[in-house]
Amino acid sequence: MTTTTAETTARTRLARSLPDAPPAPPVRLVHLGLGNFFRAHQAWYTAHASDAPDWGYAAFTGRRPDAADVLAPQDGLYTLLVRHPDGDAAEVVGSVAQVHAASEHATYLELLRRPEVAVVTTTLTESAYLVRADGHLAVDDDALAADLAALRADLTAPVSTLPARLLAGLAARRAAGAGPVTVLPCDNLPHNGTVARTGVLELAALVDSSAGAGLAAWVHEHVDFASSMVDRITPATTDDDVRAAAEATGLADAAPVPTEPFTEWVLAGAFPAGRPAWESAGALVVDDARPYEQRKLWLLNGSHSLLAYGASLRGRTTVAEAIADPVCRGWVEEYWDEACRHLPMPAEELTTYRSALLDRYSNPRVRHLLAQIASGGSLKLPVRIVPTLLAERAAGRSPVGAARAVAAWVWHLRGRGTPVEDPGAEAAQAAARSGDGSVAAVLELLRTGLTDDDELVRLVAEQVDALA
């Protein structure tokens, strides 16, 4: 879409009816979690694929209707504001053909009944999958229990949790005879496809005994749970982003998305109903995404979490400020040295990756708040930091860098640094405040059995004291 003068900013809102606006592509993709990351990543790849005119998204919000309310008057169009270190590049993304609130459940079911709908992608945060650390569905979750009761009575009943929304969509597809489909999670979880499949299949087995006889077997046979490693640092939108987008395009956009220039997507799946040619936009299609997930979760997300808790203790508020602080930068390097010893990749590749991460973190025009990264630590630390703790201890070493990340989280839970926003906050805060045994209690919450290692408990306790 061409840029007009900034003069029109206040009057002209983004819309498909504007002269150069991209037409809405036919809906063949469904997304759950209409957040900023989806719009910077999966929707961007779809808009840039060589077959973009054939593939449009119907995107549903995660819970509240806000994002759909804002994007509907813009016909799903939005500005992606790519923040380079020396200036912005703005583009209007046209792949989101429809936007809906999560509550529009009947519309969602109707879409899944269409054979041409080939893929359901998700970005609803780590906590939405409701699969516990032991690898099984969190059947004790209240919202999930309510959804299970609803589905047992009626497979088309409104439901709110991700496993139930996925299962309801798949049940509708089965009933319509619409054929196979792919579920492609795009959240920061190791083997996210397997996690989604576990949640859906275990829920299907519980529903099976009543309304959905044979449902689990159908899902098993017809649904491809693909996995992906996703990467593009995408902060929440600020008023400054809204102004910058209007200046760049001359059009009013109530919900532009700021993001960084770097982007990466590694996918592994069978895609029996087809998919956009995402590789033509730069995605990498592989047999096994696990090594890529591990590298990204341990190095990028692990250091993000370390900074979110540690650098905020030193008064830093963004990643760029944190990495410019030599003390925090030293913490990150020390942690990376430990993690890299256990990543199955050539040393040179890891060195290049680390150096690229430092450049990305230092981009002063990406205002990535440590408070945004800090949320949900009780689910994030076990997959981002604990693997390095375990691998180093198994090798007989004492990983000070990884221990410092846990120690910083202990201070966060005690009310220092970034504010606590975590579905597991109650238990974690109680553990962190439990006096002499607090470090052991926190470690045990992160992973059962960690406290059997006295040296590890001592190491983290030492870092808690050092950070004080």
Ligand X SMILES: NC(=O)c1ccc[n+]([C@@H]2O[C@H](COP(=O)([O-])OP(=O)(O)OC[C@H]3O[C@@H](n4cnc5c(N)ncnc54)[C@H](O)[C@@H]3O)[C@@H](O)[C@H]2O)c1
Q: Which of 187, 202, 208, 392 binds ligand X (CB under 6 A)?
A: 187
Q: Which two tokens stand for residue 184?
A: 């492609």
202 binds ligand 44H (CB under 6 A): no
Counting every residue, how long is the chain?
468
Phi, psi of 241 (to 5 degrees): -65, -40
Count the site residues for ligand X by CB under 6 A: 23
Q: Is 195 helix (H, G, I), strand (E, B) or coil?
A: helix
- Distance between alpha carbon 130 and the CA centroid of its chain, in Å? 14
- Of ligand X, ligand 44H, none, which one does residue 373 interact with (CB within 5 to 8 Å by kind)? ligand 44H
- Of ligand 44H, ligand X, none, which one does residue 307 interact with (CB within 5 to 8 Å by kind)? none
- Distance between alpha carbon 358 and the CA centroid of its chain, in Å? 21
293 binds ligand 44H (CB under 6 A): no
Count the site residues for ligand 44H by CB under 6 A: 10
- 265, β-bridge pairs: 230
Residue 280 amino acid letter: S
How many angstroms separate the Cα of 29 from the Cα of each of 115, 134, 440?
Answer: 11, 32, 46
**H-helix or E-strand containing 168?**
helix 162-176
Among residues 36 and 451, whose Cβ is nearest to ligand X? 36
37 binds ligand X (CB under 6 A): yes
Q: Taking CB under 6 A as the criterion, which residues in 127-166 touch ligand X? A: 127-128, 162
Which residue stretch of 149-157, 240-248, 300-308, 443-451 sits at the interface with ligand 44H (rule: CB under 6 A)? 300-308
Q: Which of 75, 147, 231, 422 binds ligand 44H (CB under 6 A)?
A: 231
Q: Which of 301, 363, 378, 463 binds ligand 44H (CB under 6 A)?
A: 301
Contact (Cβ atoms closer than 8 angstroms) between residue 442 and residue 409: yes
Q: Taking CB under 6 A as the criterion, which residues in 181-200 touch ligand 44H? A: 188
Q: Which of 9, 42, 61, 305 binds ligand X (CB under 6 A)?
A: 61
Q: How far is residue 322's CA from residue 374's CA, in Å, rounded to a whole number?
A: 14
- Of ligand 44H, ligand X, none, which one does residue 319 interact with (CB within 5 to 8 Å by kind)? none
Compose the 333-372 pattern: x for residues touching ligand 44H by CB under 6 A, - for all others: ----------------------------------------
Among residues 63 and 132, whose Cβ is nearest to ligand X? 63
Among residues 28 and 367, whose Cβ is nearest to ligand 44H? 367
Q: Which two tokens stand for residue 84?
A: 């380079």
Report, in Å, the least distance between residue 188 CB and ligand 44H: 4
Which residue stretch of 199-207, 232-240, 283-291, 450-458 sits at the interface with ligand X (rule: CB under 6 A)? 232-240
Among residues 22 and 62, whose Cβ is nearest to ligand X? 62
- Distance between alpha carbon 125 and the CA centroid of its chain, in Å? 5
Compose the 107-126 pattern: x for residues touching ligand 44H by CB under 6 A, - for all others: -------------------x
DSSP string computed for 107-137: HHHHHHT-TT--EEEE-S-GGGG-B-TTSSB
- Of ligand 44H, ligand X, none, which one does residue 304 interact with (CB within 5 to 8 Å by kind)? ligand 44H
- Of ligand 44H, ligand X, none, which one does residue 451 interact with (CB within 5 to 8 Å by kind)? none
Contact (Cβ atoms closer than 8 angstroms) between residue 292 and residue 229: yes
Report, in Å, the least distance between residue 353 CB and ligand 44H: 13
Q: How far is residue 358's CA from residue 330's CA, in Å, rounded to a whole number?
A: 12
How many angstroms separate the Cα of 78 from the Cα of each of 108, 110, 386?
Answer: 22, 25, 38
Contact (Cβ atoms closer than 8 angstroms) between residue 18 and residue 251: yes
Q: Which residues of 183-216 are buried (b: 16+ CB within 10 A; e: fewer)?
A: bbbbbbbbbbbbbbbbbbbbbbebbbeebbeebb
Binding site for ligand X (CB under 6 A): 33-38, 61-64, 123-128, 162, 187-188, 230, 232-234
Question: Which residues of this protein are in contact with ligand 44H, per CB under 6 A?
Answer: 126, 188, 231-233, 300-301, 304, 373, 375
